Amino acid sequence: ARRSYEYIDVSEPRPGVGQITLNRPKALNALCTPLIAELNTALRSFQASPTVAAIVLTGSERAFAAGADIKEMAPLTFSEAYTTSFIESWSDLTTALKKPLIAAVSGHALGGGCELALMADIIYCTPTANFGQPEIKLGTIPGAGGSQRLTRAVGKSKAMELILTGKSFSGEEAERWGVAARLFPSYDALLEGALKTAETIAGYSKVAVQAAKEVVNKSQDLPLRDGVEYERRVFHSLFGSQDQKIGMKAFAEKKKAEWSNQ
């Protein structure tokens, strides 16, 4: 069912691909609470959709997202933030979504915007991308996982420098450091590249794709030995899927696999 949203646009631009475009241009896509609620609703609906297998999340050419909404946060008290679990709902994105999510980042991805991108499974960006955790300049710290995910992505020394100085880093640096998987020369090329990758992923077995995402994510939480064992268990379990038989039979017969998603 189509819903109408105030702060985002939602579409299915390619077979198997859902797209969410943050659309709050007046505030450079600052991530106010109702925007995050809409984002979670849209992601849940793509998660439940039988026609969507991979998702692209983007902003505008000028801004992916300029952070949490500073004007909304400014008057919050500790007890309000604590009792409402402020920002906790942002994590729905990482817990409720089993389908791959590609963040296509152009322009500002600051504070919560950078953290939102880091929650995605793959980041693509342009040279104009401006990533950073400037919270220190506002008298606060990253609150949506930035201190943890950025540190895992770039290592402690760089993360510490970025978070303590609030200095931003460019799309080129993001790509060089492995924060972003690929750099595209323009916003149009970025979006096209993200949609193409999403389409490629959507062309594989849904069972295998979900398992692949799950095991790569485990690497962020588990010690190596446990992670490798986890991977092997899931790998073994896929011999119980029809698609493993379909995929390997198609290879042997030099045919294109027709996935059953079973």
Positions marked catalytic: 68, 112, 115, 135
Q: Is 201 in the site for ligand HXC (CB under 6 A)?
A: no
Distance CA 130, CA 166 (A): 12
Residues 107 and 66: beta-carbon distance below 8 Å? no
Q: How would DSSP label each residue in 111-142?
A: THHHHHHHHSSEEEE-TT-EEE-GGGGGT---
Nearer to ligand HXC, 126 or 197 (CB): 126
Q: Is 105 in the site for ligand HXC (CB under 6 A)?
A: no
Tokens of 218: 């485990």
Sketch the per residue contact string, 158 through 187, with ligand HXC: x for CB under 6 A, - otherwise.
------------------------------
Sketch the per residue contact string, 125 through 154, with ligand HXC: x for CB under 6 A, - otherwise.
---------xx--x---xxx----------
Phi, psi of 169 (to 5 degrees): -130, 150
Q: Is 69 in the site for ligand HXC (CB under 6 A)?
A: yes
Tally of helices (H runs) and strands (E runs) in the chain: 12, 10
Distance CA 158, CA 147 (A): 11
Nearer to ligand HXC, 101 or 195 (CB): 101
Nearer to ligand HXC, 138 or 160 (CB): 138
Q: Is 2 in the site for ligand HXC (CB under 6 A)?
A: no
Residue with the CB atom nearest ligand HXC in the bound state: 111
Q: Is 66 in the site for ligand HXC (CB under 6 A)?
A: yes
Q: Helices (DSSP H) in 92-139: which residue ranges?
A: 92-95, 112-119
